[in-house]
A = this chain, B = another copy of it.
Amino acid sequence: MELETLLQQLEDLQKKMYAYGTASSSLYLDAVTTAPSDTSEGRGIAMSILAGEEHKLFASKETDELLKALEARKAELNPVAARQVTMLRRSYDQLSRIPAQEYMEYVALTNEAGDVWHKAKEASDFAMFEPVLEKLVAFNRKFAGYYDSTKAPYDALLNEYERGMDMEKLDAFFGMLRSRLTPLIKEIGAAKQIDDSFLYAHYPVEKQRIFSDYLMQVMGLDRAHSTIAQTEHPFTLEFNSKDVRITTHYYEDNLASSMYSVIHEGGHALYGLGVDPAFDYTCLQDGTSMGIHESQSRFYENMIGRSLPFIRAVFPKMQELFPEQLKAVTAEDFYRAVNKAQPSLIRTEADELTYSLHVMVRYEIEKQLIGGTLAVHDVPKVWNELYQEYLGVQVPDDKNGCLQDSHWSGGSFGYFPSYALGSAYAAQMLRNMEKDADIWSDVEKGDLHSVTNWLREHVHRFGQLLEAGEIVERACGGFDPSVYVDYLEKKYRALYHL
């Protein structure tokens, strides 16, 4: 067959998968933003049929044959098509190794598990979730073998979220975090604590909405290609490089919560909007890994959003919107308040310093669960022990403990480390960016162009053309977590006058 014909078929296949993905995303977005409350049945039927059709389309003999034909002529392919073939082959092989029956059972299980987890969390009763978690762990141990039978099961799963990452690297990474951050956290515990009480005054949602719009504008999130909505949990949805949505959740008694959700999700959104439009409607159009995605969200949230120059830039707008609440507050006070470090129970509410320790608890548990050295039944016990050990806090119940996150109910094991990796990458990117451009004088003026342009150049535009490791090489100069710890130490020693 003509190469041109094969390439056309390659494009068509990817466009179809994009179409199915877009349909599912749209139904999901509707579900969590505007759908009437009692309408999940009909949507569930549609979504599972569409997923089935997509699966049938992709996991077909035709796909295999197309990929084989292109692989045979790999030398003639341009790098973009070559990369597409590589990625599709990887997905194809994985999917085709999972027996169809197992795959269907697993999809049904994760659908059910979300509900079960939700109810168990409400009842704060791990025992309710335990049988489902047993099954989820068993499936993932099996799937790990399908993904890569040459690796330890947890390494195979980690590799799905961050290609090239494994327990050896993560043990070293978390080991360093633990050994250097734990003493610092203790020191801070003994130091004079920062007053952040004004963050918890009454902040009307209406005004917070205006503030969100303002933050999007500062971040350069063009409203012709992005929107913001309100959902229970903030998230970002990327349809393509010209259509990205973010969501936030407003609390009337907490200004910082939505503010940093918007900046965090805005970071994901800028990544999505920055991908080369030539990759739209192909398998290269998304961010390359969870770790790199989190590096972008956490870069904007922490390195920029929780920096003094940025707060100086946006503080006048805050005082305009909340004159009473911030009457006696300076930009410096605000900066200190949103950087207050204090060990706590809930990951999503943790400060920048203690955040990685929350992730580490989940990493240790996943490693043992998938490794087969921890029984599901013992998860709460180990969870509570690790929170005591790493963060020095007592977990009062499952709701504020091992049931707080939804990830496991969705079958995600190996995802959590991405959060910590993203923060570490972000710190390295910041150091390199500072070498290339005088970003802080721009940021202080509320101008993020030099920041975003640097990230676009080194990270965004590649989409999935490059692997996570190649991005880390290009943007960070290789993975070196000591940069992250140095960054945290410097920032927090100054904040607490240590």
Residues of chain A touching chain B, judged by Cβ–Cβ distance below 8 Å, are: 15-16, 18-20, 22-23, 26-27, 29-30, 33-39, 41-43, 45-47, 49-50, 53, 222-227, 229, 239-240, 242-243, 245, 280-281
Contact = CB atoms under 8 A, between A and B. Distances in A.
A242 B281 CA distance: 33
Nearest to A29: B30
B22 A43 contact: yes
Contact of A22 (B16, B27, B243, B245): B27
7 contacts: A22-B46, A26-B30, A34-B34, A35-B243, A36-B222, A42-B243, A53-B53
Nearest to A37: B224
A43 B281 CA distance: 10
B45 A18 contact: yes
A29 B27 CA distance: 10
B19 A49 contact: yes
Contacts of A22: 27, 42-43, 46
A58 to B, nearest CB: 13
A16 B51 CA distance: 11
A236 to B, nearest CB: 13
Nearest to A243: B39
Contacts of A227: 34-36
Number of copies: 2
Contacts of A225: 36, 38-39
A345 B224 CA distance: 34
Please give me the 3 A-B residue pairs with the lowest Cβ-Cβ distance, nearest first: A23-B23, A19-B49, A38-B224
A99 to B, nearest CB: 21
Nearest to A38: B224
B45 A281 contact: yes
A109 to B, nearest CB: 21
A156 to B, nearest CB: 32
Contacts of A222: 36
Contacts of A229: 34
Given A36-B227, A36-B243, A39-B224, 17 more contacts: A15-B49, A16-B49, A18-B46, A19-B49, A20-B50, A23-B50, A26-B27, A30-B30, A34-B227, A34-B245, A35-B243, A36-B225, A38-B242, A42-B239, A42-B240, A42-B280, A42-B281
A248 to B, nearest CB: 14
Contacts of A239: 39, 42-43
Contacts of A16: 49, 53
B36 A34 contact: no
A192 to B, nearest CB: 46
Contacts of A46: 18-19, 22-23
A35 to B, nearest CB: 7
A124 to B, nearest CB: 26
A45 B19 contact: yes
A242 B42 CA distance: 8
